[in-house]
């Protein structure tokens, strides 16, 4: 797939820092741009997304977006960083280290299930990035660093569980993370095809709660086998 970059400005038209005023709030401006960029990338993909369309949504100029992000591709990288950062930072607030190992795993699985179910845009952006063979994830050291935190957390939970005799020894935290992510991600990424083929309403609350409980028990059985 060929990705066409949008030039930020013409060669003879240098970028100019936006005029500062009392109302100027760079962090809020960046956040607004990122939020609308998520919508555009989810709906159009990376190749089809237009910076003009993002600018129109927040009533700003394309020049302003390029001032903050440099290019469409860099904006997309920062969207990835934001979405991965959101899930990792929320995980850090679960206080898993304060819970007994079994309860910590249960809370992590339930959180992952709920986060994916409520944040379909995250799932879609990850699918888009996989279409691009993780080309833009490779450009971000921040994404790799922030995702190591979940492995560190899982490793500690598994260690405590093995010491207490509730989990078997020798479990790889990356394998466990993959198992949890697979269960929770698939039912969102494939919900339309899966629902149609098997005539099941995956968004139905009763179905959702049944699957949530099933995934928790499946992961715990794997750890305790």
Dihedral, 138, 143, 148, 151 alpha carbons, nearest 10:
-90
Return the pLDDT at 26.
Answer: 83
Structural domains for the chain: 25-70 (1.10.10.60), 76-223 (1.10.357.10)
Answer for the pair 3, 74: CB distance below 8 angstroms, yes or no.
no
Distance CA 173, CA 170 (A): 9
Return the pLDDT at 23.
Answer: 55
Distance CA 124, CA 193 (A): 14
DSSP string, 153-211: HHHHHHHHHHHHTSS-TT--HHHHHHHHHHHHHHHHHTHHHHHHHHT--TTSHHHHHHH
In this predicted model, what pLDDT tens digit does every residue of 16-53 receive, in sequence order? Answer: 444 443 356 888 889 999 999 999 999 999 999 999 99
Give, in order, the Cα–Cα distances in Å from 84 to each of 73, 91, 183: 17, 11, 18
Span 95-112, mean pLDDT?
96
In this predicted model, what pLDDT tens digit does every residue of 176-221 receive, in sequence order? Answer: 999 999 999 999 999 999 999 999 999 999 999 999 999 999 999 9
Answer for the pair 80, 129: CB distance below 8 angstroms, yes or no.
yes
In this predicted model, what pLDDT tens digit does every residue of 114-150 receive, in sequence order? Answer: 999 999 999 999 999 999 999 999 999 999 999 999 9
Residues 6+ apart with CB under 8 A from 208: 117, 202
């Amino acid at each position: 797939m060929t990705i066409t970059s949008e030039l930020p400005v013409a060669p003879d038209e240098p970028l100019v820092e936006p005029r500062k005023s009392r109302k100027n709030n760079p962090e809020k401006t960046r956040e607004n741009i990122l939020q609308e960029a998520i919508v555009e990338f989810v709906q159009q993909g990376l190749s089809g997304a237009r910076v003009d369309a993002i600018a129109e949504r927040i009533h700003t100029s394309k020049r302003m977006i390029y001032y903050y992000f440099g290019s469409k591709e860099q904006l997309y990288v920062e969207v990835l960083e934001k979405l991965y950062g959101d899930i990792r930072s929320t995980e850090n607030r679960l206080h898993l280290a304060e819970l007994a190992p079994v309860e910590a795993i249960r809370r992590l699985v339930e959180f992952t299930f709920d986060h994916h179910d409520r944040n379909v845009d995250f799932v879609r952006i990850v699918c888009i990035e996989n279409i691009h063979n993780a080309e833009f994830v490779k450009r971000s050291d921040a994404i790799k660093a922030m995702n190591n935190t979940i492995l560190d957390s899982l490793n500690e939970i598994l260690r405590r569980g093995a010491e207490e005799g509730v989990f078997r020894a020798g479990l790889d935290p990356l394998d466990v993370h993959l198992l949890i992510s697979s269960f929770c991600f698939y039912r969102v990424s494939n919900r339309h095809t899966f629902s149609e083929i098997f005539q099941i309403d995956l968004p139905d609350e009763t179905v959702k709660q049944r699957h949530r409980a099933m995934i928790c028990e499946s992961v715990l059985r794997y750890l305790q086998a």
